[in-house]
Structure 1
Amino acid sequence: MLTDLIGTLPQVLIDGLTLGAIYAVVAIGYTMVYGILELINFAHGEIFMTGAFIGTSLLFLFTGQGWIHTLPAILILLLAIIAASICTGVLGIGIERVAYRPLRNAPKLITLITAIGISFLLQDIVRFIAELKKGTYIINGPNLFNGQIHIKASSLWPEFHDATLKSSFLVVLLVSIVMLAVLDIFVNRTKWGMAMRAVAQDRETASLMSVNVNKVIAITFFIGSALGGATGVLFAVQYGTIDPYIGYTLGIKAFTAAVLGGIGNIRGSMAGGLILGLIEMFAAANLSGLTGGVFGSEYKDVFAFILLIIVLIFKPEGLFGKAAAEKV
C-alpha cells in the first residue's frame, strides 16, 4: 500500500500543481471581493467560465486566420488571455455597478441571492450564444500544447513510477505563477494596492482619508474578474473541453480553497488552492486503494470537503487566516 502511494507521487504532484494553480487564481477573485465588501461573489465562477469561452473563441479565430503558422503558439495564447482578461474585467465592473453597488447597504442575504442570480444569468447567456453559433454548448478547444513529456521519475528514486505531462502543464503553471506574483506585488507595493488594503481594513476611515472607495472597489472587481477570465483560458487549453457549467463546480472548489487558506487573505488563498489541488489529485490516484475499492476516484470531492470541514472545526479562520477579534 505504502509503495503504491509513494509511486504515484510524481504524477500526483504534476496534476495537483496544475489544478491547484487554477484553483488558486480563481480563489483570489473570491477573497479580494470578500476582503473589501464582505461579499461572496458567487458569480465569479461564471466569470471564469465566460473567460474560457471568450478565450477559446479567440483561439479558434486566430488559428482559423492562419496565425498559428506565422506566430508562436505561446504568443497566440497570450493574446487570447489578455483579450479575455480585459473582457471579463469589464464584465466584473459592470456586474458590480449594476447588481452589487445599489445593494451595498442592503442585508447581505439579498446581495448573496443577487450573486446567485447573476451566475445563472451568465450561464444561460453563454449557453444561448454557444448553441446559436456552434449548435452545441459543449466546446472542444483548439489543440495547442498537446505534446507529451515523459519524466523518468524512477531514475530519481526506484519507488517512484514514471510520470507523463502535457506541454500545456508548463504553460499553465508558468502563466499562473506570473499572475500570482504580479498580483502580490501590485497589492503590497503600489499605491492602488495600499488603497485596496486600506478599504479592506476600514472602508469608512479610508473614505475620510480621501480614498475613492467606489473606484477602489471597481478596480478590485476588474482585477479579480480579469484573473478569473485569464484562468478560464488556461483551463480550456489544459483540459480541452468547456461548457457553460464548468464555472459552477470549479467556482465552488475555488471558494473552498479560499476558505481553506483563509478568505480575505490573498496569499492564504494561493496556498489553499495549491493544497486543494494536490489533495484532490492524491485522492483521485489513491482513494480506491486506501478504501479497498469501496470508494473510487469520483469521490475525490468528498475527500477534499471532509478535510475542509475538519480544518474549519479546529481553525475556523482557515489555515493562514487570522482570528477576528470580537468587539465588546
Structure 2
Amino acid sequence: MSRAYNFCAGPATLPEAVLRQARDEMLDWRGTGMSVMEMSHRSDDFVQIAETAEQDLRDLAGVSDDYAVLFMQGGASSQFSMIPLNLLGDKTGADYVNTGIWSKKAIAEARRYGEINVAASSEDSGFTTIPDQAAWQTRADAAYLHYTPNETIGGLEFDFVPDSGDVPLVADMSSTLLSRPLDVSKFGLIYAGAQKNIGPSGLVVVIIRKDLLGKARKETPTMMNYQVIADNDSMYNTPATYSWYLAGLVFKWLKEQGGVQAMGEINLRKARKLYDFIDGSDFYANPIERRFRSWMNVPFTLADNALDNEFLKGADARGLLNLKGHRSVGGMRASIYNALPEAGVDALIGYMAEFARERG
C-alpha cells in the first residue's frame, strides 16, 4: 500500500511512525494483553500514559507549573462557550478580535453569556489582513481578550502575539500549537483541537493559568468547569482515552524530530516553497497579505475556476488528497501541518506546475 499525501485541514495527516506504533500496540499494549482503548482510565497503565503525555506536552511547549494542562473531550468549538462561562466571572464582558470564520463563531457563542466587544475586525478586507493593534478598541476592564492566531479556513495568520496588558490573553491555537516555538507565559489560556498538529479528533487540549481557575459562573455545567477538570486530572469522567494515547505518541515523535524549534524551521521552509511557487505563477493566486499568510493552511485559486474539478481529479489520481477549499471560500487549500512531509509539498508543486503548463 502506498501512503497518499493528505492535505486535509482536519482530521489531518498523522506521522506514519505514530500510526505504525499504534498498529503494533493495537491488540497488546506492553504485554498487558489488551488495547489501550480497552483499558480503564483509572488503571495504573493508563495513568502512566496520561501523565507521560502531559509532561511531554509541557516539555515541547514550555508550559510551566503556573499552568494546568487539561485533556478534554470535544473540539475547539466546545470551548467557545466554556471560555466565557469560566472566565467572565464577576465581569460583564470580554474583548474579541474578528479575523475570520472561527473568530466569528467564537464571538457568536460568547454573546450568549456576556457583553462581547469586537475590538478589531478585518471583515471589511475580506479577512485578507490583520488590523494594526494600535487601532484596536480594547477595554481595560475586560475579563479577557480572545483572538484566533491562525484562521484555518481563510489562511490568515498573526505574525505577532497581541499585547493585552493586564487582561488575560486567550488564543485558539488549534492549527498552530506545536508547529513552532511559543512563549506560553504571554497567555492566560490556550486551547487547541487535537486533529491538526496533535492527534486524532475527539480531544481538545486546554492550557490555562492556574490563577484563572475557580471563576466559573454558578450555572456552568460540571463537565464544562475547568476547575473540576483540573482537580480531577482530566478524569472527572471517562476521557477520550485512545485519542489521548495517540496524542502522547505524537508528542514523542515531535521530540524525536528535534522539538518545536526544528518543526518550526521545517514548517517555514514548506510554506515558503509553496507560496514562492504561487507568487511566481500567473495561473495561481493567494489573496492574503504576504505578512499575514498562514504557515499551516495555504489557500489558492486557479486562473479559471471552471478548471477546479479537473485540478482536483488529477490531484486525487496522484495521491494528493483533500485539496478542495472550504465551501465558504472555494478554490483550493493545502494544509501542511507538522506531519505532512516536505516531499508532499514538493509533489504538490510539481503537479501544480504540470497542470498550469497543460491548462494555462
TM interval, short-chain normalised: under 0.3
The one of the two structures with greater contact order (alpha-carbon pairs below 8 A, sep at least 6) is 1
Write 1 or 2 for the structure with the bigger share of helix: 1
TM-score relative to the length of structure 2: 0.25
Length-normalised TM-score, structure 1: 0.27
